[in-house]
Amino acid sequence: MTTPGNERTHDVYLMAGKPRFRFRNDNRGVTLTDTHIAWTADGRADGAPFRNIASVALQQTGSWQAPIGQCRITFADGYTLTLFNADAGGRRNAQQAVIYREFVRDLHQRLAAHAGNIRFTAGLPPGRYHVVLVCAVLLGLICFVGPLALLPFTRDLRTLGVMFAGGMLCWPLVSMMRNNAPRSYQPDRLPEEVLS
């Protein structure tokens, strides 16, 4: 919804402050102006000028098969605002994905004027990315090398079926890892692969 003064409200789900587990998240709705961001979480209205934003991080989280897009805004005082392309139950939702992408694009267009003071990153934090990468390589070895090594001993072609099934299991993880490689970006060049 667009209103006078170049203000726009996006009906995206959010979590304000420290992340915590919820069965249902009813916090939604972020308003952007040319200089401010505003939201309401747990019945409390809040907001900040863009000059208080220290960083914006885009990534995919959740399951390999249906990753959830996430935009985490960190303010100078360490407070975080995290926005998702999921529904209230935390499930991937095609309609919310469209709303989320529109929000991320609008936010970045508005932040372009303040980009010198803001750090823009995409993907997982480097430490977490490397741990997941090692686990993915180990899973690949189990799914591919294991059955292939057994084939000469078992002489059973069903082992190739196990290898194929392992490949089908690993492919979404490989795709998610490729999309979540840690990197910096500019607000006018969004990493589309993490916007899901």
Q: For the segment 118-141, what is each residue's pLDDT rounded down to a tens digit?
A: 999 998 888 887 887 788 788 777
| Interval 6-39: pLDDT, tens | 899 999 999 888 776 667 788 899 999 999 999 9
How far apart CA 107 and CA 139 sit, in angstroms, is 37
Name the DSSP class of 195.
Answer: -
Q: What is the CATH number of domain 2-123+183-191?
A: 2.30.29.30
Stated pTM of the model: 0.78
Region at 90 (left for phi over 0; alpha for psi -120 to 50; beta for the rest): left
How far apart CA 98 and CA 93 sit, in angstroms, is 9
Domain positions in the chain are 2-123+183-191, 126-176
Query: What local confidence, expressed as pLDDT, does residue 2 receive?
Result: 41
| Cβ atoms of residues 68 and 14 within 8 Å | no
Residue 17 one-letter amino acid: G
Name the DSSP class of 141.
Answer: I
